[in-house]
């Protein structure tokens, strides 16, 4: 991939000016120096004036990244359709837990490849990573259409492994690329881009239900779906544009090892990463099993087919609500609120039994989980140097993917072939142990510890900011959240864009 000479010259001048300018004039991210909490400025950090904060190229990039989320996690959010179809028709000999491994593996890989593509993005290989991901995702869906009934491992390979890697190669770059075009409104743009996932969940859920459960059959249905996704991915690759020159190590390289080390040595970053990982253990359970749950409770096939649409509609609203609420509540407090709310709502799935309960639970869960997912990137970006954003997001998302990998298979095992809905609901939620004499009593206690730990960790993040002298400052005009860092006796530092 080549870049225009004018863009290369512009980047060279920009980097040269950054090296010679006063560090206090730059936007910097908090990084610990040799013993105090002062702010340091990265030599690779862009000046605020260099970010267009709009314009045709910037908005085309936002829309292209939006399409990447629509085709990536948006398609993943519709996996509940495949879960129900596989369990009832295509993979009848496989257990619910085995089928859920397909979706959980793909979900894990979406975030697990982040530590690979994050550094590549920071060092100038955006197009290589992005286009490779689009090709793999398209290829995997066409290969899935060729799988014969009962061939579990072929489905796992195509839809779990290859599709997950393809989506993962596009996931982190689609967020990180926004830092090339926006600084003041970066958190808002991330919320807009992330809204592509629930909107994709709505569209793909409706389409897949009509195709897979219609007269055309699995093969043709998946091929139509694959063609639709491929067209959108091509448009995404055309629209998304970077603002760095062809990579030259001495100018724009990032110390990936140093940036990765910060993820595990800085207390707020470490606690945030583990907290989001625990949230991911429970997050995908309703998305995988809500449609199956509705069918098993006799709510009618027509309504059950659209139960996932209810969740994704709530999630779509939540992505935009996150951007509106964030300047007033704060990213850490909002994270704690949404995690607790999601845990309570998952427990409510035990009492699903009417259309009204499905609609209420679906909308509320979609709303709070959508807000939480939307603020993950801004939360992690709160502690990142903009030059290291790709690495930091990649590592953090990779760790959180572990929760997505193990969560739904465990829920499927607890569900069993008898569909004991209370078992996985209690696994994913927080409540007193109602059934201490049951076989799941011990697991119940463990789950309470795990779920409560997720919320406690973010309380720890908030406390660590306070101990470091960090004060949350919100600026409504820029739709951003900044952190002013200083010592208790003397304020040193400046503003950091989230």
The tens digit of pLDDT for each residue in 46-91 reads 434 455 677 788 899 999 999 999 999 889 888 878 888 888 888 8
Sign of CA dihedral 297, 77, 315, 427: positive
Residue 87, in any domain of the structure: yes
Residue 496, in any domain of the structure: no
CATH code for the domain of 54: 1.20.1250.20
Report CA-CA distances (Å) from 317 to 193, 203, 244, 478.
13, 15, 33, 21
Q: Is the pLDDT of residue 135 over 90?
A: yes
How far apart CA 332 and CA 276 sit, in angstroms, is 12
What are the two backbone dihedrals, phi and then psi, of residue 322, each rounded to the nearest 5 degrees? Answer: -55, -45
pLDDT at 229: 96
Q: Is the pLDDT of residue 463 over 60?
A: no
Report CA-CA distances (Å) from 402 to 118, 271, 406.
17, 15, 7
pLDDT at 413: 64
Identify which of 173-177, 245-249, 265-269, 467-471 has the greatest average pLDDT.
173-177
Asked if residues 212 and 308 have their Cβ atoms less than 8 Å apart, the reply is no
Number of domains in the chain: 1
Report CA-CA distances (Å) from 280 to 146, 197, 199, 248, 325.
31, 16, 20, 37, 22
Residue 95 — pLDDT band, cuts 50, 70, 90? Answer: confident
What percent of the chain has pLDDT above 90?
15
User: What residue numbers bound the domain in which 317 lies?
Assistant: 50-484
pLDDT at 123: 76
Residue 235, in any domain of the structure: yes
pLDDT at 64: 94
pLDDT at 315: 86
Q: Is the pLDDT of residue 438 over 50?
A: no
pLDDT at 346: 75
Q: Give the mean pLDDT of 370-374.
A: 83
How far apart CA 170 and CA 485 sit, in angstroms, is 33
H or E, element range at 471 = strand 471-475
Residue 436 — pLDDT band, cuts 50, 70, 90? Answer: very low
Residue 224, in any domain of the structure: yes
In tens, the pLDDT along 406-425 reads 766 766 666 555 544 444 44
Residue 34, in any domain of the structure: no
3-class SS of residue 270: helix
pLDDT at 52: 65
Report CA-CA distances (Å) from 137 to 72, 133, 143, 247.
8, 6, 10, 26
Scanning 72-195, the segments in alpha helix (DSSP H) are 73-76, 79-85, 96-112, 114-122, 126-144, 152-155, 163-176, 186-194
Structure tokens at 102: 């397909």
Which residue in this structure is represented by tokens 């089928």? 99
The candidate with the shortest Cα–Cα distance to 290, out of 79, 76, 70, is 79
What percent of the chain has pLDDT above 70?
62
Residue 171, in any domain of the structure: yes
- What does pTM read for this prediction? 0.66
Mean pLDDT of all residues belonging to the chain: 70
Neighbours of 462 (CB within 10 A): 19
Residue 42, in any domain of the structure: no
Q: Which residues of 146-179 are buried (b: 16+ CB within 10 A; e: fewer)?
A: ebeeeebeebbbbbbbbbbbbbbbbbbbbbbbbb
Residue 482 — pLDDT band, cuts 50, 70, 90? Answer: very low
Residue 436, in any domain of the structure: yes
């Amino acid at each position: 991939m080549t870049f225009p000479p004018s863009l290369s010259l512009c980047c060279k001048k920009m980097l040269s000016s950054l090296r010679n300018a006063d560090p206090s004039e730059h936007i910097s991210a908090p990084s610990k120096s040799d013993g105090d909490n002062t702010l340091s400025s990265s030599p690779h950090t862009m000046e605020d004036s260099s970010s267009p904060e709009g314009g045709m190229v910037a908005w085309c990039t936002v829309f292209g990244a939006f399409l990447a989320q629509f085709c990536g996690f948006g398609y993943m959010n519709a996996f509940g359709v495949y879960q129900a179809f596989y369990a009832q028709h295509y993979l009848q000999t496989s257990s619910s837990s085995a089928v859920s491994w397909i979706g959980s593996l793909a979900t894990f890989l979406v975030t697990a490849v982040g530590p690979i593509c994050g550094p590549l993005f920071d060092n100038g290989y955006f197009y290589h990573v992005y286009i490779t991901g689009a090709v793999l995702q398209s290829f995997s869906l066409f290969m899935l259409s060729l799988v014969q009934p009962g061939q579990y491992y072929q489905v796992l390979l195509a839809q779990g492994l290859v599709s997950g890697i393809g989506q993962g190669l596009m996931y982190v770059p689609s967020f990180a690329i926004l830092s090339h075009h926006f600084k003041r409104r970066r958190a808002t743009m991330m919320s807009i881009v992330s809204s592509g996932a629930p909107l994709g969940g709505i569209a793909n859920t409706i389409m897949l239900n009509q195709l897979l459960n219609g007269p055309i059959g699995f093969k043709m249905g998946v091929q139509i779906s694959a063609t639709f996704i491929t067209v959108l991915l091509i448009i995404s690759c055309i629209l998304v544009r970077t603002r760095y020159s062809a990579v030259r190590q001495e100018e724009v390289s990032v110390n990936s090892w140093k940036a990765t080390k910060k993820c595990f040595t800085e207390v707020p970053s470490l606690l945030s990463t583990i907290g989001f990982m625990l949230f991911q253990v429970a997050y995908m359970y309703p998305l995988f099993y809500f449609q199956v749950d509705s069918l098993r409770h006799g709510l009618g096939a027509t309504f059950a087919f659209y139960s996932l649409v209810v969740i994704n509609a709530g999630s779509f609203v939540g992505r935009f609500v996150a951007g509106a609420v964030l300047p007033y509540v704060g990213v850490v407090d909002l994270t704690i609120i949404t995690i607790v709310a999601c845990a309570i709502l998952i427990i409510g799935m035990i009492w699903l039994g009417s259309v009204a309960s499905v609609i209420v639970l679906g909308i509320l869960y979609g709303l709070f989980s959508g807000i939480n997912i939307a603020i993950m990137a801004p939360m992690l970006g709160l502690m990142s140097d903009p030059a290291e954003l790709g690495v930091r997001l990649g590592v953090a998302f990779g760790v959180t993917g572990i929760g997505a990998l193990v969560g739904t298979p465990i829920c499927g095992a607890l569900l069993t072939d008898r569909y004991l809905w209370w078992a996985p609901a209690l696994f994913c939620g927080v409540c007193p142990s109602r059934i201490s004499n049951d076989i799941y009593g011990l697991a119940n206690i463990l789950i309470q510890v795990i779920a409560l730990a997720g919320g406690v960790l973010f309380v720890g993040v908030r406390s660590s900011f306070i101990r470091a002298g960090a004060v949350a400052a919100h600026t409504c005009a820029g739709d951003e959240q900044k952190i002013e860092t200083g010592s208790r006796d003397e304020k040193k530092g400046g503003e950091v864009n989230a």
